[in-house]
Amino acid sequence: MTSNDSNPPEVGEPAPDFALLSTEGETLQLLSLEDSPIVLFFLTDTFTFFSRGFSKIFESLHESLRMVEVTVVGVSTEPVETLCTFVEHAKIPYILLSDFDRQVSKAYGTLTERIAGLTMVTRAGVFVIDKKGKIAYKWIHDEQSPAPDADQIVDLISTLQSQEGS
């Protein structure tokens, strides 16, 4: 079923940094964004029903979070060309990154050998990274876990921003 070679970073630990090619044609380095909290999420396969629904959560979050200077970034193991097609077709408003070599998915503990007939892809996951580059929230999909709570993520970010402002 599922297995990964590495454990995900825990809440309070530093977020693994990385640089990946984006759907905007540039290489994005994660911790270069640490002027604001980051919502980093992992998509299994962009054109599946599950991933389309999962990405809808972040589409709705994107607008409200952008107003409070939060960056939303998605990661998929698909090639950047496929991600660009998905962004255009689904009108995705946030940045998607291609983890085609699967190193970032491995570092975040989301890489799985097999899921829903796909091999060596990432499981759906969400990490909130604070301005200091530390994991503040972690959720990785498994058969028993419900979808992440968007309101909980927004509340956490509000708390993080109020702590950083004081």
Q: What's the pLDDT score for residue 3?
A: 44
Bridge-based pairing of strands 38-43 and 71-76 is: parallel
Low-confidence ranges of the chain (pLDDT < 50): 1-4
Q: What's the pLDDT score for residue 84?
A: 94
For residue 41, the Cα-to-chain-centroid distance in whole angstroms is 1
Q: What's the pLDDT score for residue 2?
A: 41
Tokens of 44: 């299994």
Type and span of the H or E element at 82: helix 80-90
Q: What's the pLDDT score for residue 137?
A: 93
Per-position b or e across 114-123, b if 16+ CB within 10 A of its CB: ebeeeeebbb
Tokens of 30: 């994660």
Out of 3.30.70.270, 3.40.30.10, 3.30.70.890, 1.10.3290.10, the CATH code matching 19-165 is 3.40.30.10
Q: What's the pLDDT score for residue 54?
A: 66
Q: What's the pLDDT score for residue 113?
A: 79
Tokens of 118: 């796909």
Q: What's the pLDDT score for residue 149?
A: 75
